[in-house]
């Protein structure tokens, strides 16, 4: 069994749920406190032991490459002005990991975007991290990043394809792909019998929703090539995964630990900024004080 050392981040979406912010700015580059959302994902992968990352981009996404590249003018200016702490922060970004890029030339769905990574992945298992899903785990408390949790489970299971899942409220099952468990492996892991895309509450086989993290084996690319476009003319990764499972491939769902933020919608981005701000070493005290004062003002207005 080969070690997982590569990851793919699909980042070619148009970000229509957060317009007009994404009219000229990639949604993955929208800021959570002081870092673009995409940097949180890259940092998660690095802590998880990933060595090489492919970001699948599209048109008007050049700012992604610029952000993770060396910036001579900026770094030279910071050095000349003696802003050495900021210089260190900026310099470290370009040294985070070996990052590669490929363009998805047409918006043909998540499955098509992942298929663009075939030459990069080769014959190795790999991690997929979706650009909309930022997962917070507390490293100071020994909590592992979500990607690391799935990688460790892959090793324990001796291979297989793994969907990262969490339980969602009943009212939200129609927003996600929901797993139908076949049998329980352990307290957090089930073998998957089926996968239902955005079912009604009555049709939902469970409350386990696939949320932004996958471990996939390289055989997935053969199935992606043979998967026909579905709704909206898009190639769905779930269709390819289920076809592989039906041909005898192992498919599991792992209920990972972590607080998930859906940064692909306005309220999710707002919540992420508030809660990450409350954890930020430089801002947390000011943020707490401000929120307490704001709550008092709101209470007075309601009286």
Walk me through the domains of the chain, giving residue ranges and CATH numbers. 6-264 (3.90.550.10)
> What does the pLDDT read at residue 54?
95
- Confidence at 214, pLDDT banded by 50, 70, 90: very high
Tokens of 294: 């704001």
Tokens of 26: 């990639």
Least Cα distance to 59 among 106, 112, 118, 122 occurs for 106
What pTM value is reported for the model?
A: 0.89
Lowest pLDDT segment from 61-75, 109-123, 181-195, 213-227: 61-75
ω into residue 20 within 30 of 0, thus cis?
Answer: yes
Tokens of 11: 């980042």
- Confidence at 302, pLDDT banded by 50, 70, 90: low
Express each pLDDT in 161-205 by its tens digit.
999 999 999 888 888 889 999 899 999 999 999 888 888 888 889
Express each pLDDT in 243-285 by its tens digit.
999 998 899 999 999 999 998 889 999 999 999 999 998 899 9
Q: Give the Å distances, CA to CA, from 11 to 38, 54, 58, 142, 262.
A: 9, 10, 7, 29, 14
> What does the pLDDT read at residue 18?
77
> What does the pLDDT read at residue 65?
82
Alpha-carbon Rg for the chain, nearest whole angstrom, is 20
Judged against a pLDDT cut of 70, whether residue 303 lies above it is answered with: no
Least Cα distance to 139 among 46, 234, 20 occurs for 46
Per DSSP, what are the bridge partners of residue 99?
A: 53
- Please report which residue ranges of 81-232 form alpha helices under DSSP H: 84-93, 110-115, 118-121, 146-156, 220-225
Angle (nearest 5°) at CA 247 between 208 and 12: 60
DSSP-assigned letter for residue 128: E
């Amino acid at each position: 069994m080969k070690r997982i050392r590569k990851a793919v981040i699909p980042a070619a979406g148009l970000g229509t749920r957060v317009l007009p912010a994404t009219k000229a700015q990639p949604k993955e580059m929208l800021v959570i406190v002081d870092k673009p959302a995409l940097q949180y994902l890259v940092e998660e992968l690095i802590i998880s032991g990933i060595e090489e990352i492919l970001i699948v981009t599209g048109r008007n996404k050049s700012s992604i490459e610029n952000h993770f590249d060396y910036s001579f003018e900026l770094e030279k200016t910071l050095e000349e002005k003696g802003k050495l702490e900021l210089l260190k922060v900026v310099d470290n970004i370009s040294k985070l990991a070996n990052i590669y890029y490929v363009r998805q030339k047409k918006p043909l769905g998540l499955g098509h975007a992942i298929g663009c990574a075939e030459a990069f992945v080769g014959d190795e298992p790999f991690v997929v991290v979706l650009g909309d899903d930022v997962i917070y785990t507390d490293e100071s408390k020994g909590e592992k990043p979500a990607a690391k949790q799935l990688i460790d489970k892959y090793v324990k299971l001796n291979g297989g394809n793994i969907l990262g899942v969490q339980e969602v409220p009943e009212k939200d099952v129609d927003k996600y792909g929901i797993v139908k468990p076949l049998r329980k492996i352990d307290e957090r892991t089930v073998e998957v019998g089926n996968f239902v895309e955005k079912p009604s509450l009555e049709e939902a086989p469970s409350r386990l929703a696939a949320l932004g993290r996958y471990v996939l084996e390289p055989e997935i690319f053969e199935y992606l090539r043979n998967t026909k476009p579905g709704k909206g003319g898009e190639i769905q990764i779930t269709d390819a995964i289920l076809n592989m499972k039906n041909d005898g491939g192992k498919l599991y769902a792992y209920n990972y630990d972590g607080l998930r933020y859906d940064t692909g919608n306005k309220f999710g981005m707002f919540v992420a900024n508030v809660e990450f701000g409350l954890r930020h070493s430089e801002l947390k005290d000011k943020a707490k004080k401000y929120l307490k004062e704001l709550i008092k003002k709101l209470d007075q207005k309601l009286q």
